[in-house]
Amino acid sequence: MLLPKFDYHAPTTIDEACSMLGHYGAKAKILAGGTDLLVHMKKRLLSPEQIISLNKIEGLKEAFSQNGTGLVLGPLSTAAYLADSRLIQERISVLAQGASRLGSPLIRNRATVGGNLITARPASDLAPPLLVLSAKVTLKGPRGERTLPLEDFFLGPGQTAVQADEILTKILIPNIQGISAGAYIKLGTRKALEISLVNTACFLELAQDGSIKLARVALGAVAPIPLLTPSVSKILAGVKPKNMDDPVFREAARAAAQESKPITDHRGSADYRRYMVEILTWRTLKNAYSQLMEKV
């Protein structure tokens, strides 16, 4: 099926892109990787008159360290880049794990982290890893620039805090001081091109005495938005597990399941999803803690 007619714009700066978006308003759509937008246009679910591509703007396609304060991800960083980047694998491997499970190799070569967040799918493979890493997003528009925590970014399925005339310009991940590890698990009915039935990401950081300084677990596909689980953080904070089979991880996994809000659809029942939240959370916590024990 052919695309509907549209005018194509390729600004070379963020300011130019923001100006175009403000000028055309609801008639325009931002193009990043196009894995969602172009499909929707072919199906006539969207018919924007103006397409504003960000692909000619320098500095949006890679990750870099920012003066020792953390990492900056360009919104046009592809899933393939995130999965294969040595910087991502060494510093925040949980994100590389999530990126490696997104779609298929073909889709990973085009799909971008910014586009994945903007579409705000509850089953996103990138949102849970970024949530456990305490990521923030920076938005820019005619009123200036603002930064907000990723947990405040998602408002509902397909809905975000981005205003109609704003562009997502960067994802910020704060520097990790101590010994840390993360893990990601995705449950689907096949190995590729699959929307998650449940996905779980976790991040653990150790204090100097070997206790858990920070624990964050996020869930996908079991709530209207990618979901952080504060109860898990409370249960694990300050605990010094005996080993990766410590019962405290089971307790935390049960708490995560209680916080989930799954629905029943053609891919699985709410009860099954809730049960698998507990199983997958337990496995990710054990995986991450096992990694920590290898580092100390």
Whether residues 170 and 185 fall in one domain? no
Give 109-126 pLDDT, tens digit per residue. Answer: 999 999 999 999 999 999
Structure tokens, 23: 């000028």
Whether residues 163 and 224 fall in one domain? no
Does residue 243 lie within any of the structural domains?
A: yes
pLDDT exceeds cutoff 80 at 192:
no
Whether residues 80 and 114 fall in one domain? yes
> What's the rounded Cα separation, in Å, for the pair 181 and 165?
37
Q: Give the other-Cβ count within 10 Å of 84's Cβ.
A: 14
Does residue 194 lie within any of the structural domains?
A: yes
pLDDT exceeds cutoff 80 at 41:
yes
Range of the domain at 163: 63-174
114 close to 155: Cβ distance less than 8 angstroms: no
Rounded mean pLDDT of 274-282? 98
Across the chain, mean pLDDT equals 95
Domain end: 174, 207, 230, which one?
A: 174
How many domains are contained in the chain?
Answer: 3
Give 130-179 pLDDT, tens digit per residue. Answer: 999 999 999 999 889 999 999 999 999 999 999 988 999 999 999 988 89
> What's the rounded Cα separation, in Å, for the pair 17 and 114?
15
Q: At how many degrees (to 10) do helices 270-295 and 247-259 cross? A: 140
pLDDT exceeds cutoff 80 at 274:
yes
